[in-house]
Every structure is written in structure tokens, then in C-alpha cells.
């Protein structure tokens, strides 16, 4: 009886929303919802039909993660079909929710959220990240680079934008596995401090610094940005892929701390994911709910305008904003492809449920950035220094220096 009801509803779906998708029910019967189906969804129980017949990205993702549904075929194609199913359901097309403004982002809750996401195991991340373990958007000059080359280009792109010079003090807030501070110290001659809330990242980064012989120039700390000693100041401050964890109501606190720690005439860069919704609502169609539930607890994405407002309110002067949305779509697709190639090993390392979460998360985010649901920006700013001709900037008048490997100031002594 249940099988007949489900098949009848699927027939209705096929008439109104034909898709290149095949559905296989728990008792073995099949129905193609369109021609040239490259993806098959296997419903493992009658309860799994609810997610399909009232689809959202949250309900479909949850059904897969919890093992109610299995997937045969390319995961990237499955994500595109899930998007089309969710778009066809009026109930799922509601605008994403406004963020919860209260009761989040204490030091304890932030440590717990970071541990949930990052402390799976270093071996887990090694399977799909590049050799330097850079877990943030790569930078593609052509779009055809391999992941390792694109991530190295990103590190150098950041270092050039910050105009790093030998002897400067660099702070990296949310340093991950240490790739930026190591590159900055080894190639640009700075003294670097990196902070993270992840125990696994802390231990890995310290070991890599030791192996590279950079202990005299790089220090890794297990520390919250709010606990940094304000008597220590820095010439340059970077934060790559961290402020998504700060929380909207704490963005001003975050940028205030950056301002206090930055020397007058200093330069800072904030590289972070932003909402495409001007009210900083979560991603719609249930995607934001899925990510909050399974991937990034308490993650909140500000719209670009809100991030710039809070940055400026802290006293920093924005000098450059660059969207890397297309770059992140390419990065996530590369991660997703690597994840697919190592899926069996990753399931053994982290368990089947965690591997399912990450499988749909990486492919889903590649789709989201490609579709423009979310964006990512590098915001370059300075802490102006009063001078005889007004507020002075340490940066050149033109942006040439950001993109030319051989750029040097034309006159000796020019900052």
C-alpha cells in the first residue's frame, strides 16, 4: 500500500518536474523521473520517501547522512538534482532564517564548535587537502592549476597584498595548520605568530614549524583571539577563513581587537565567507540548516556590507575588496574530487556518517559558490598613521604590487 502511494506521487513529480534521476524503492521497484538518468537514489525504508516527496536541501541531506537514502552516481550531479527538487517545493523556497543573536560564541562554545569541525583527525584532512594542509580558498590565475599550485599562489597573493617585509611582526588569527605563517617567515622574512583553537591544528603546525627549522621565526599558540595581549602589537595581521566562526554580534569586537593589536601604519587582511543576502540571512532551501546541524555549529555569515561597516566602525580604513567566489568554487570542486577518490579510506578514518556529511558538504558548497548563493572576500585595510600631509598609508598608490612577483618600490625608502 505504501509503495503504491509513493509510486503514485513519484509519477506526479515526473509529470511536473522531469529530472535525469532514477528512484529505487526499498522493495526493489524503480522509476526514472526523466531521460538519461546518471544518478540513482535508493530509498532504504518507507520513511525515506518523506524527504523526497517534501524536498529541501536539509531534508535530502539529512536522509543521506542518516543512511535512509543511498546514492549511486556522481555526487556533484546529485547535488544539482537536489537543488532542482528543492526549488520545485514551495515550502523550501522560503528565505533563509535570520541568525540567532543571543547565547552564542562564548569562548567555551567556540572551542567546542571548532573542535567538532577541525579535530576529526589530521589524517582525514590530509586525504583531500593539498600538501601544505591549506583549508581555505585557493587562488587560480588560469583555472587550470593543480590544487597545490593554486594554494601556494594564494599564500603568496596574501603575502604580497600585506606588503610583507623582513623583520616585520605578523599575526595570523586562525592559522589552521600553519601554512601562511611558515610561508611568510621562510620567503618574506617576517616573525610570525599563529593562533588556533584546534588542538589537532596546534600540534600539527608546531611539528611542521620544527621540521622546517623555523622555530626562531614562527610561534604557534593555542589561543582565542579575544585573549591576545594587547601590549603585543603587530605590523601585519591576517585572518584567513576564521571570521565565519566569530558570530555577527561579535564582529565589532573582533575588528576592535584587530585595530588594537595593529600598529599605526599597519596592514590587515580579512579573508572570509560572506552571505549573499543583504540581511545576512542563512542560505535558503534548507542548506543553511543542514550546515549548522552537521558541519559548522554556530557558523554565521555576514553580508559584505555588514562586514565592511563593522571594520570601518572599529577605525580601520578599507583599501581593497576582492571577491574570490569563483576561486572557491574551483577549490571546493578539487577537494570534492579528492574526497570521492578516497571515500573508502575516509569512511574508515572518520566513520560512515562523518564521511557522508563531508561528501555532500564539499560538493554542495562547490555548487553554492558556483551558483552565487554565498561569496568570499579578501578585505584589505590599514590603520592610518597621522603624518604631515594627513593620514598616511603604508601601501602604494596603485595595486600593481599585488599581482607582480617582481614588484619593488621605485624609490629607495618608499614604504
Please check whether residue 148 is in contact with residue 387, taking contact to mean a CB–CB distance below 8 angstroms.
Answer: no
Closest of 247, 254, 172 to residue 217, by C-alpha: 172
Pick the closest to residue 127 from 350, 287, 281, 393 (CA basis).
350
Report the distance separating Cα 30 and Cα 68, nearest Å. Answer: 17
149: phi then psi, degrees, rounded to nearest 5: -65, -40
Instruction: Indicate the pairing of strand 385-387 with strand 374-382.
Output: unpaired
Residues 6+ away with beta carbon under 8 Å from 181: 170, 172, 175, 192, 193, 194, 205, 209, 218, 220
> Are 118 and 110 within 8 A, CB to CB?
no
Tell me which of 137, 159, 175, 365 is the catalytic residue.
365
CB within 8 Å of 410: residues ≥ 6 apart: none
Task: Please indicate whether residue 175 is annotated as part of the active site.
Answer: no
146: CB partners within 8 A, 6+ apart: none
Q: Which residues are catalytic?
A: 365
Amino acid at each position: 500500500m505504501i509503495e503504491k502511494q509513493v509510486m503514485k506521487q513519484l509519477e506526479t513529480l515526473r509529470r511536473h518536474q522531469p529530472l535525469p534521476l532514477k528512484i529505487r524503492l526499498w522493495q526493489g521497484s524503480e522509476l526514472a523521473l526523466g531521460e538519461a538518468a546518471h544518478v540513482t537514489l535508493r530509498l532504504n525504508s518507507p520513511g525515506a520517501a518523506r524527504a523526497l516527496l517534501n524536498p529541501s536541501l536539509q531534508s535530502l541531506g539529512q536522509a543521506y547522512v542518516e543512511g535512509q537514502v543511498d546514492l549511486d552516481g556522481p555526487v556533484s550531479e546529485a547535488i544539482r538534482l537536489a537543488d532542482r527538487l528543492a526549488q520545485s517545493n514551495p515550502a523550501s523556497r522560503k528565505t533563509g532564517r535570520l541568525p540567532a543573536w543571543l547565547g552564542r560564541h562564548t569562548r567555551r562554545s567556540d572551542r567546542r564548535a571548532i573542535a567538532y569541525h577541525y579535530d576529526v583527525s589530521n589524517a582525514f584532512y590530509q586525504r583531500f587537502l593539498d600538501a601544505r594542509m591549506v583549508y581555505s580558498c585557493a587562488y587560480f590565475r588560469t583555472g587550470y592549476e593543480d590544487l597545490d599550485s593554486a594554494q601556494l599562489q594564494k599564500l603568496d597573493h596574501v603575502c604580497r597584498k600585506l606588503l610583507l617585509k623582513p623583520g616585520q611582526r605578523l599575526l595570523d588569527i586562525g592559522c589552521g595548520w600553519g601554512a601562511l605563517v611558515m610561508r611568510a617567515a621562510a620567503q618574506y622574512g617576517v616573525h610570525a605568530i599563529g593562533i588556533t583553537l584546534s588542538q589537532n591544528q596546534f600540534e600539527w603546525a608546531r611539528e611542521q614549524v620544527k621540521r622546517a627549522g623555523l622555530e626562531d621565526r614562527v610561534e604557534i599558540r593555542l589561543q582565542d583571539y579575544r585573549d591576545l595581549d594587547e601590549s603585543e602589537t603587530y605590523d601585519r595581521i591576517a585572518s584567513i577563513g576564521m571570521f565565519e566562526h566569530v558570530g555577527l554580534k561579535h564582529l565589532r569586537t573582533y575588528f576592535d581587537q584587530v585595530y588594537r593589536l595593529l600598529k599605526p601604519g599597519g596592514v590587515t587582511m580579512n579573508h572570509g565567507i560572506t552571505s549573499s543576502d543583504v540581511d545576512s540571512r542563512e542560505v535558503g532551501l534548507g542548506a543553511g540548516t543542514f550546515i549548522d546541524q552537521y558541519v559548522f555549529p554556530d557558523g554565521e555569515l555576514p553580508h559584505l556590507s555588514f562586514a565592511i561597516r563593522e571594520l570601518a566602525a572599529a577605525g580601520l580604513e578599507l583599501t581593497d575588496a576582492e571577491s574570490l567566489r569563483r576561486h572557491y568554487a574551483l577549490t571546493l570542486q578539487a577537494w570534492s574530487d579528492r574526497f570521492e577518490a578516497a571515500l573508502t579510506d575516509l569512511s574508515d578514518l572518520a566513520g560512515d556518517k562523518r564521511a557522508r556529511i563531508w561528501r555532500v558538504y564539499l560538493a554542495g558548497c562547490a555548487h553554492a559558490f558556483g551558483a552565487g548563493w554565498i561569496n568570499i572576500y579578501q578585505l584589505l585595510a590599514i590603520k592610518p598613521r597621522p603624518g604631515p600631509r594627513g593620514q598616511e598609508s603604508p601601501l602604494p598608490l596603485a595595486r600593481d604590487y599585488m599581482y607582480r612577483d617582481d614588484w619593488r618600490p621605485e624609490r629607495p625608502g618608499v614604504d
